[in-house]
Homo-oligomer: A and B are copies of this chain.
Amino acid sequence: MRGRDTLTDIVGVKSFSESFFFIVTGVMPDARQTVCFDACLNILMDHGLTPGAMVARIVEDSVPEDMQVAIAAGLLTVANRHVGTMAGAGRLLAEAMQSGEAPETWAARTAARFRDRKRRVPGFGHPHYSPEDPRATRLFEVAMGAGCEGRAIALLKTLGAEVDKTLGRHLTLNVSGAMAAILTEIGFPVEAMRGVAVVGRAAGLVAHIYEEKQDGLTRSLLEMADREFTPGADGEGQPT
C-alpha cells in the first residue's frame, strides 16, 4: 500500500482511519490528524431513518443474501442534496487559501458573489438547526482539543460572519461546512472529501441492514406505503 508493506506496516499496526487517510493521501496521519479524521467519519455514520437507510433496508428485504447490493443502493443517495455541499465548501476554502487575500476581503467578496447569483453558499444553512448546528460545534470543539484549529476553520467562520452581514440574517454553519474545514485543516484533499461521507455512511448502513434482518421494518413500511399511497390498489401484488 503506497510503498509500505501492507501486512507488516498497516495490518495490526494502524487503525482503519489511519490506513484510509494514508491510502488516499500517501501521508500517514499523526495523532492530531487521526482524531479529527475519526470525528468526521463518525459524525455521518448514523442519522436515523435517512433516505439512504430506507433504500438500503428495502433492497435488503429483496436481496437478503448480498449486503453489498443494499449498501451500494443506499450510498447512491449520498449526493448533493444531502452531504454533497462538503466538497463545495472545501473548494471555496482551497480558493481562499491559494488567493492570499485577507480573510475578510475574500469572505465579503464571496458572500456577495453568491448573493448576486442567488445561490446558496455551500456549508451554510440548515432547515432545523439555528443559530448553530450542534454537530458542527462539536467537530470544531474536537478539532480545537486536538490542536487542529487553524486557518481553514478561521476562514470558514469569517465567511459565515460575512454571509450573515450580506444577507441581513443568520445562516447556520452546518456540519458539511465544518467537515470541509476540518478535512482541509488536516490535509485531506477536496476531491476525495465526499469519500469520507460515503465510508462513514457505509458503516451506518451495515448497522441498518443488520437491524433490518432482525426487525423487518421494511415490510411494515411497504404495507403502510401500499395502504396510503396506492390509488385504487387492486391487489395485483408483485410477481413471484
Residues of A within 8 A of B (CB): 1, 6-8, 10-12, 14-17, 19-20, 23-24, 34-35, 37-39, 41-52, 54-55, 58-59, 61-64, 66-73, 75-83, 85, 125-129, 133-135, 138-139, 141-142, 145, 174-176, 189, 191-192, 194-200, 202-207, 209-210, 213, 217-218, 220-222, 224-226, 228-230, 233, 235-240
How far is it, in angstroms, between the C-alpha of A69 and the C-alpha of B69 when the chains are bound?
Answer: 8
Beyond A16-B38, A43-B11, whether A229 also contacts B221 by CB under 8 A is yes
B77 near A135: Cβ-Cβ < 8 Å:
no
Other-chain residue from B43, B189, B230 in contact with A48 (beta carbon distance below 8 A): B230
A79 vs chain B, min Cβ distance (A): 5
Q: Which residue of B lies closest to A21 (CB)?
A: B203
| Chain B residues within 8 Å of A24, by CB | 206-207, 210
Q: What are 19 A-B pairs with beta-carbon distances under 8 A?
A: A1-B45, A1-B46, A19-B203, A48-B236, A49-B222, A49-B229, A51-B62, A67-B192, A68-B194, A71-B198, A72-B72, A83-B239, A128-B237, A129-B237, A174-B239, A175-B239, A195-B202, A198-B202, A199-B206
| Chain B residues within 8 Å of A49, by CB | 222, 225-226, 229-230
Q: Which residue of B lies closest to A208 (CB)?
A: B23
Oligomer copy total: 4
How far is it, in angstroms, between the C-alpha of A217 and the C-alpha of B42 when the chains are bound?
Answer: 31
A204 near B71: Cβ-Cβ < 8 Å:
no
How far is it, in angstroms, between the C-alpha of A85 and the C-alpha of B55 when the chains are bound?
Answer: 23
| Chain B residues within 8 Å of A145, by CB | 12
How far is it, in angstroms, between the C-alpha of A130 and the C-alpha of B15 when the chains are bound?
Answer: 28
| Chain B residues within 8 Å of A226, by CB | 48-49
A114 vs chain B, min Cβ distance (A): 15
How far is it, in angstroms, between the C-alpha of A77 and the C-alpha of B68 when the chains are bound?
Answer: 8
A147 vs chain B, min Cβ distance (A): 13
A8 vs chain B, min Cβ distance (A): 8
| Chain B residues within 8 Å of A129, by CB | 237
